[in-house]
Homo-oligomer: A and B are copies of this chain.
Amino acid sequence: MNGLLPEGFHDRLPPFADAAAALEARVLDVARLHGYERVDPPLAEFEEALGTRLKAASGKDAVRFTDPVSRRTLAIRPDITAQIGRIAATRMAHHPRPVRLSYAGQVLKLRASELRPERAMLQIGCELIGRDGVAAVREIVTVAVAALEAAGVPGLAIDFTLPDLVEQLAPGMAADRLAALRDALDAKDAAGVAAIDAAFLPLIEAAGPFDAAISRLRAHDSSGALASRLDGLEAVAQAVEGRVALTLDPTERHGFEYQSWIGFSLFAQGVRGEIGRGGSYSVIGAQGDEPAVGFSLYADPLLDAGIARPERRRLFLPFGTDADTATRLRGEGWVAVAALDEADTAQAQLCTHLLTDGEPRPL
């Protein structure tokens, strides 16, 4: 049966498709209450326009086809964030900053990533365009956490990173030496780091639970070069303290290449891998780059873990139940399945309740 669909593609059946709709609605309702308004970019765009806004890696992932109308190449979006940036920079360029936008939609990738087997995925997210300071990041992290809480996601954890920390600490370092240092830090290769500059060893050792990591970094920051970064990071973390397990991996860069000063990954108990990520970045605009912060959630691992599954409560209406009774029961919130003929049964319709003497009774 799996052979019916290509690898990485799947049908969401009941009750998982209802769960997907509920997850999307709950997440974006929290965003709405924080002032984020939905935008809905199209599935496909001119490849050129989309490509310039995509991370290099995801640009290669896009499905391409020739448009018979324009005779130009179009690409199916492998990511929605890039489209939100385009909208903010062009059609909403006149809108005062910051602009708060949210979205939910399908994305399509030609190839699965190392970590995710899916090639068709539901992406849900929020972007705040025009700011990337501590207050903006605090808001984005708060919205992400409140949204996941509202969707019933248990055991939330956030892993923060400071993608430009190494550059901050080594303003004068030669490019090739900096690259080697970054590679050694990414690999958590202490000997390699020591060979380049032992002063960076504390960055490896600092990775771990948030408060301890911050303390260790402050202890090693005798020059005070990191003070403002660490103050900002603490202010961000404080907004969700006590609700979320917090860690810091100060040099983690993988997947955060396009983030500026801060990035974060979201995790949930019992869900494999990341459930989302976010951070600060730049939006390319006609008048130069604009700062922005945002987050994206990957709905599929959450749904696979059973998040937002609705309770299955179905009332069977025997053949001949009058329309007014059916309307009244549905008005009371009952999922009421009507028999279409004498042969229909409550059991076959997977009902939990049966209308008996005008009242729903459990089966």
Which A residues form the contact surface with B (CB < 8 A)?
1, 4-18, 20-21, 25, 28, 32-35, 37-46, 49, 63-65, 67-70, 72, 74, 76, 83, 86-87, 90-92, 96-98, 100-101, 103-106, 108, 110-111, 120, 131, 133, 135-136, 139, 239, 314, 323, 330, 333-338, 340-341, 344, 348-350
Contacts and interface: CB of A to CB of B under 8 A. Distances in A.
B341 A135 contact: yes
Contacts of A76: 43, 63, 76, 108
7 contacts: A7-B70, A11-B83, A14-B37, A34-B338, A42-B120, A65-B65, A136-B340
Contacts of A83: 11
Contact of A21 (B38, B108, B330): B38
A70 B105 CA distance: 25
B340 A131 contact: yes
Contact of A42 (B11, B28, B101): B11
B33 A336 contact: yes
Contact of A15 (B11, B37, B46, B100): B37
> Closest 4 interchain pairs by CB?
A35-B337, A12-B40, A96-B348, A14-B37
B44 A108 contact: yes
Contact of A139 (B28, B333, B340): B340
A37 B17 contact: yes
B10 A39 contact: no
Contact of A14 (B7, B39, B98): B39
B6 A70 contact: yes
A236 to B, nearest CB: 13
Given A45-B5, A45-B9, A335-B35, A40 B69 contact: no
A86 B120 contact: no
A96 B349 contact: yes
Given A25-B25, A33-B334, A135-B340, A40 B20 contact: yes
Contacts of A239: 323
A11 B87 contact: yes
B336 A34 contact: yes
